[in-house]
Amino acid sequence: MSENDADISDEQILDEFIIRRKRRSLTLGLFILFLALGLPCLMYFLDAGEAVGNAKYLGILSIVFMFVCLVVFEFINWRCPICSRYLKLSGNTTFCPHCKTRLKY
pLDDT of the residue at 3 = 47
Please state the φ and ψ torsions of residue 18, each to the nearest 5 degrees.
Answer: -60, -45
Helix axes 55-77, 10-48, angle to 10 degrees: 170
pLDDT for the residue numbered 55: 66
pLDDT for position 26: 92
pLDDT at res. 1: 44
CA angle centred on 76, ends 72 and 77, rounded to 5°: 115
pLDDT at 63: 80
What is the pLDDT at residue 57?
73
The model's pLDDT over 95-105, given as tens digits with 9 standing for 90+, comes to 888 888 888 87
Q: What parts of the chain have a pLDDT lower than 70?
A: 1-6, 45-46, 48-56, 90-92
- DSSP, collapsed to helix, strand or coil, labels residue 86 as strand
